[in-house]
Amino acid sequence: MRLCKFLFAGCLSLVSLASHAQTVNGLYQVREPVSSQAPEERDQATQRALETLVLRLTGDDKAAQNPGLAAIRKDPQQIISRYGYDAGPPESLQVDFDPVSTERALRQAGLALWGANRPSILGWWLNDSTEGSSLVGDGQASAAPLRRAAQHRGLPLRLPLGDLNEQIVATAPNLEGNDPAPLHGISERYGADALLAVHAHQEGGQWQAKWHLWLGNQREQGSAQGADSAAVADAVLLAVSQRLAPRFVARPGASTEQLLEVQGMNLERYAVLGRLLEPFGARLQSVDGDRIVYRVNGSADQLRAQLSLAKLQEVPASATPAPVQPVVGGSAPAAAAPAPAPKAQLSFRW
């Protein structure tokens, strides 16, 4: 396929990912609870919103204190497009940050960003309270705190239906276990990238939670606590976000420039791939048939994690076709021959 066709695809309207990865909506909109609409309360909530946004975009809890953001911390209005109040419950200040000026400020401060395309997470969440044990299902009132927490932390969370078959499997022992096998069968119909298993319970007036996260063959786990179900939900999803971010954010000084080849390209996949590689500063190098080569900034592990969201498979180096060599006619000078396609360090196929 000719290069011009690929470039034409970039002008098409963005298409949905063919994989399960989701684009997080409202990534630059932050809600922070307030006790009143007094100016002092608004200013404090605006500062919290800025810290929440920076953490959401970088996965780094120290990023908001970066010296390069001193001017923004002093006057967040520089990157705010609008704000207003949401009656709730809970009552909150809604701050809409301008994506362009926000990203510019963060990058000028030397911070790398986590793109809007993030792994979809299926949450198996079991609550044990004084009222009994219940699996949080989609559409239940108990799902609202989880959805608010997921939005607050910039994660695309899905919840199961919570029907009888799922309740039989999603028990406390299975959710607290280190083996995700019991959950695999009932999770397949939801087509998520990651599984999150949480067992939360009330203890001494507080909520405690143990959680496990599986993404591919990697597992994370931890515990969290909060004053109520909403607080513990936010604490769990904050921890999950901070564990996931390093896999997808290319930190300045920690990444390397390399060539990435992807085989099996077509017009729709070009648009999908462009969105996936956006956080890595991808620059198109060459196109040869259905093969495309980009120059990217990021570690091999980060690129593998990102491309796994589109279910791309890595091609071993020995199986990668050699670059097509130009054919030079007998009368044409060798110097006039076009250069061969660059050799990629990483290769994947659809």
Task: Tell me the per-residue pLDDT of 148-187, one tens digit each, with 9 for 90 and over.
Answer: 999 999 999 999 999 999 999 999 999 999 999 999 999 9
Look at residue 197 and give its three-state secondary structure.
Answer: strand
In the block, tokens 């110097």 appear at 335
- Name the token pair of 195: 């599984």
Q: What number of residues does the chain have?
A: 350
Q: Which domains does the chain have, with CATH numbers?
A: 25-108 (no CATH), 117-247 (3.30.160.100), 257-349 (no CATH)
Percent of the chain with pLDDT over 70: 85
Backbone CA torsion sign across 70, 76, 81, 86: positive
Which of 66-70, 129-133, 342-346 has the highest mean predicted lDDT (pLDDT)? 66-70
CA distance linking residue 307 with residue 292, whole number of Å: 14
Averaged pLDDT, 188-213 = 94
As a whole number of Å, the CA-based R_g of the chain is 23
Averaged pLDDT, 107-127 = 93
Average pLDDT, the chain: 86
Q: Which residues contact 235 (CB under 8 A, 6 or more apart)?
A: 209, 224, 225, 226
Model pLDDT for residues 18-56, shown as the tens digit of each residue: 345 688 999 999 999 999 999 999 999 999 999 999 999
Averaged pLDDT, 319-346 = 53
Averaged pLDDT, 290-318 = 85
Are 122 and 144 within 8 A, CB to CB?
Answer: no
Whether the predicted pLDDT of 325 surpasses 90: no
What own/partner pairs with CB < 8 Å and gap ≥ 24 does 202-209 have? Answer: 202/128, 202/129, 202/130, 207/231, 207/232, 208/232, 209/235, 209/236
Question: How much is the pTM?
Answer: 0.78
User: Is the N-terminal amide bond of 246 cis, ω within 30° of 0?
Assistant: no
pLDDT value of residue 67 = 97
Across the strands, what pairs with 80?
97
CA distance linking residue 297 with residue 259, whole number of Å: 9
Q: Can you say whether residue 155 is alpha, beta or left, with left for phi > 0 and alpha for psi between -120 and 50 degrees?
A: beta
CA distance linking residue 127 with residue 229, whole number of Å: 9
Going by pLDDT thresholds of 50, 70 and 90, the confidence category of residue 4 is very low
Model pLDDT for residues 206-239, shown as the tens digit of each residue: 999 999 999 988 899 999 999 999 999 999 999 9
Percent of the chain with pLDDT over 90: 62
User: Angle, nearest 10°, between helix axes 144-153 and 39-58?
Assistant: 70
Query: 258, 304, 261: which is closest to 281 by C-alpha?
Result: 258
pLDDT value of residue 7 = 44
Whether the predicted pLDDT of 292 surpasses 70: yes
Q: In terms of DSSP bridges, do strands 257-263 and 206-215 run parallel, antiparallel, or are they unpaired?
A: unpaired
Going by pLDDT thresholds of 50, 70 and 90, the confidence category of residue 304 is confident
pLDDT value of residue 332 = 45
pLDDT value of residue 320 = 53
pLDDT value of residue 318 = 62
**Structure-model confidence comparison of residues 206 and 130, the more confident one:** 206
User: Angle, nearest 10°, between helix axes 39-58 and 99-108?
Assistant: 70
Going by pLDDT thresholds of 50, 70 and 90, the confidence category of residue 321 is low
Model pLDDT for residues 69-79, shown as the tens digit of each residue: 999 999 999 99
Going by pLDDT thresholds of 50, 70 and 90, the confidence category of residue 254 is low
